[in-house]
Amino acid sequence: MRRRRHRQRDDRRGAELTFDVLIVGAGHAGASVAIHLRQAGFTGSIAILGDEPELPYERPPLSKDYLAGKKGREDFRFRSAEFWAERDIRLIAGERVTTVHPSSVHCAAGRELHFGQLVWAAGGRARRLPGAYAIRTLADVDALKASLPGATRILVVGGGWIGLEAAAVLATAGKQVVLAESQNHLLARCSAALLSDFLLAQHRGHGVDVRLACGQLDPVRFDLTVAGIGIEPNVEPLLAAGADGNDGVLVDEFGRTSLPNVWAAGDCALHRNRFGPDRPVRIESVQNAADMGACVARAIAGDPQPYAALPWFWSNQYDLKLQTVGLSHDHDEVLVRGDPAIGKFAVIYRRAGRVIALDCVNNTRDYVQGRALIERGVRLDGALLTDADRPLKSLLET
């Protein structure tokens, strides 16, 4: 695969193009695949196809600094246009793949692109509510920001990460925010009740009217509605082509799908995670997208290494810095380390006696030192783990 094949052909009339590696999706996963392929010395032709008319950019600021006006549009591109050009990574923007064939894809606008290897890094699309703004793309947030000046009362639907981050930004901007969550606690999918309760108190303390176990509210009572109700993985064209999967596309430890020469990485990739439960999972995070992308790139470049990166995640709300390491799926025990009342603590998740994840609030030290506890799968006494005066690092030394 290292040999340059000179297969890139630009037939202007037929608009037919061929790439040794065609990457579908211009987010963290897609960018990571391309960057790591070149770092590994891969000299074949590479293209990144994205469905937005944008240079590849990071999504996390959309619900944080970009929404808050602290970062401009050009402040969170992965790389400059020159960077991609210098490395001969072709960017094809504003194209969406509708059909996947054994060695080509068909785009919505009619274009046909041929590939040697296809990397599916198409992520997900926001679930949308009629009349509500979503927060998934730059265009989504530009539209939301354009209508904010005239809005006072804002309904945020969904008490997950995106809903909470948006509520924090909007409340800080002086808006009257009602946050409606259908479950009876915040972050219902992923966090312990203790963290949910802490965040609930924080948001209420900042003036957000949080309604739990909340049915549909009348949107007429609000100037605008923001929906943060999750994503649907963009995998339909792959599944239609026969790839295994359902809520995501199934991949092996190297990121290979069940289709020949087709790989997948990032939010849409259903995989068995070394740190997760004993079943395939999808992980929606920057870390997973970037590291899986790197894993796929190494395999394509001829140096396959099984995906084994430790998951981590972060969120910023008000002055709170939330950092998570590990995956808390199927935990059977929750411990608290430190004091939620002073706003600095960690929630430790265990399964069968082993530490599997930590949610850390304003507590980078435990976030950092907790990594080793998870990686080594150690069994430790709960009283030691919850003694906040004892550094987690020191527990491994005993």
Partner 1 sequence: MPITVSVTTRDGRTKDLTAIAGRSLMENLRSGGIEEILALCGGCCSCATCHVYVDDQWLTAMPPMSEDEDDLLDTSGAREANSRLSCQIPVTPELHGLAVTVAPED
Residues contributing to the site for partner 1 (CB under 8 A): 28, 35, 38-39, 58, 60-61, 75-80, 82-83, 86-87, 286-287, 290, 312, 314, 316, 321, 323, 364-365, 367-369, 371
Place of tokens 């924080």: 202
Residue whose C-alpha is closest to residue 369's, from 329, 338, 331, 342: 338
Per the DSSP assignment, residues forming a β-bridge with 125 are 232
Residue 277 C-alpha from the chain's centroid: 19
Place of tokens 């949308």: 128
Place of tokens 């943060």: 228
CB of 37 to partner 1, least distance (A): 11
Considering beta carbons, is residue 227 or 325 the nearer one to partner 1? Answer: 325
CB of 208 to partner 1, least distance (A): 22
CB of 250 to partner 1, least distance (A): 25
Considering beta carbons, is residue 314 or 349 the nearer one to partner 1? Answer: 314
Considering beta carbons, is residue 45 or 363 the nearer one to partner 1? Answer: 363
Cβ-contact 373, 337 below 8 angstroms: no
CB of 365 to partner 1, least distance (A): 5
DSSP string, 316-329: EETTEEEEEEE--T
**What distance in Å separates the CA atoms of residue 254 and residue 272, rounded to the nearest whole number?**
11
**What distance in Å separates the CA atoms of residue 34 and residue 19, rounded to the nearest whole number?**
12
CB of 183 to partner 1, least distance (A): 26
Considering beta carbons, is residue 202 or 363 the nearer one to partner 1? Answer: 363
CB of 323 to partner 1, least distance (A): 6
CA angle 123, 79, 76 (to 5 degrees): 70
Count of alpha carbons within 13 angstroms of residue 109, beta-carbon side: 13
Considering beta carbons, is residue 40 or 188 the nearer one to partner 1? Answer: 40
What are the CA-CA distances from residue 115 to residues 8, 24, 56, 89, 118 (Å)?
Answer: 10, 11, 21, 14, 6
Considering beta carbons, is residue 25 or 61 the nearer one to partner 1? Answer: 61
CB of 313 to partner 1, least distance (A): 9
Q: What burial letters (b/e) apply to 22-53, b meaning 16+ CB within 10 Å?
A: bbbbbbbbbbbbbbbbbebebebbbbbbbbbe
**What distance in Å separates the CA atoms of residue 96 and residue 89, rounded to the nearest whole number?**
18
Considering beta carbons, is residue 78 or 120 the nearer one to partner 1? Answer: 78
Considering beta carbons, is residue 188 or 368 the nearer one to partner 1? Answer: 368
CA angle 395, 396, 398 (to 5 degrees): 70
CB of 144 to partner 1, least distance (A): 20
